[in-house]
Amino acid sequence: MTALKNDTFIRALLKQPVDYTPIWMMRQAGRYLPEYRKVREQAGSFLDLCTNPELACEVTLQPLRRFDFDAAILFSDILTIPDAMGLGLYFTEGEGPKFSNPVRTAADVNKLPIPDPETDLRYVVDAVRLIRKNLQGSVPLIGFSGSPWTLATYMVEGGSSKSFQKVKSMMYEQPKLMHVMLDKLAQSVAAYLNAQIEAGAQAVMLFDTWGGMLTTEDYVEFSLYYAKQVRALLKTTVDGQQIPTILFTKGGGLWLEAMADSGYDALGLDWQTDMQQARARVGHQVALQGNMDPVALYASPEVITEKVKTILHKYGSGSGHVFNLGHGILPDMNPDHVKAMVDAVHEHSRVYHQA
């Protein structure tokens, strides 16, 4: 494999010295880019785009042609594993993902298979290989998966939810059944991420989008426990190179100390978590990623620059910070505002990395 020309992102995750704070952005390949919308139209549907390795590679690379990002992230969806389990994923315009066969009973849970990534999710693994080849060592490639708890919420609810009534009812009324399901998902997620690593992913991220919907004790038992299970099963060294791992629980700012003990190299922070306080609490243990409010990108480039400077100042001197949004970019964002953020991070972060 080609040696990395820019490994700043990897070194920051491992808390090694860097010249500046690296930046990438959740959903950096997506609807805010006109070139993405063109390929999406060509694909016919979002799912067709995800399952076509050539088109997934193209949209992964698109933001890197526009912006000076320090990492690429695989273009895919967090619900590929439940789809491979036979739940029948489909997307409804304006309503998001849905499943034809949601998981509601013990029989439903017991018949869930653990997908083989090289066969059942081959299109993702092929996309990773193709993206890695096309990057030619310019920047690292991030692989990812939804967390076991987050996947379970979609699988039981049958799609998105505001109250999470169905999945929480199963959790409270049939905790043993929920644990059986989450254990299968942890095994599936670990196998999936390991396949991405084998195919060329140089860092991996676990998206726990709905962990923040739980109480503290339920988060520890039903979300964090299985995130730790995934981490324990990951192969994190390839050809002598360490593969950094990132855990992101949206709404998880209350539990940073517990998350920092979970074995991941870095924690993603949402915008409601104060960067300075987060570093004081856990920064000696893990790197931190984040955490600009995505809505701040609607502001003028001048305001965006000031917001960037505030976050950089709050993290302070030294390595261990990867700049990012606190969640995904919104679909109607002006790409020029993204450029303002990226350029501001690179320009104003160097002062924090001088020996």
Q: What is the pLDDT of residues 283-331, one digit of tens each?
A: 899 999 999 999 999 999 999 999 999 999 999 999 999 999 999 999 9
154 is catalytic: yes
Q: Given the structure tokens 């109480």, which residue do they identify?
A: 215
Q: State the binding site.
A: 27-31, 77, 154, 209, 327
CA pair distance 202, 132, nearest whole angstrom: 9
Q: What is the mean pLDDT of residues 327-354?
A: 98
CA pair distance 218, 282, nearest whole angstrom: 22
The SS3 assignment for 29 reads coil
Q: State the binding site for substrate.
A: 27-31, 77, 154, 209, 327
CA pair distance 327, 270, nearest whole angstrom: 6
Go through the chain and tell me how many residues it has.
355
CB 57 within 8 A of CB 73: no
The set of residues, in sequence order, having a beta carbon less than 8 Å from that of 282 and lying 6+ positions away, is 256, 257, 259, 260, 267, 288
Q: What is the mean pLDDT of residues 233-262?
A: 97
Catalytic residue among 70, 77, 208, 270: 77
122 is catalytic: no
CATH 3.20.20.70 fits 8-353, yes or no: no
CA pair distance 102, 156, nearest whole angstrom: 5
Does pTM surpass 0.85?
A: yes
Q: Which two tokens stand for residue 123?
A: 């299109």
- Cα distances from 27 to residues 5, 63, 213, in angstroms, run 23, 10, 22
Catalytic residue among 11, 40, 132, 279: 40
pLDDT band at 2 (very low <50, low <70, confident <90, very high): low
Catalytic residue among 7, 11, 20, 27: 27
31 is catalytic: yes
Q: Which two tokens stand for residue 349?
A: 């972060």
Catalytic residue among 20, 32, 36, 154: 154
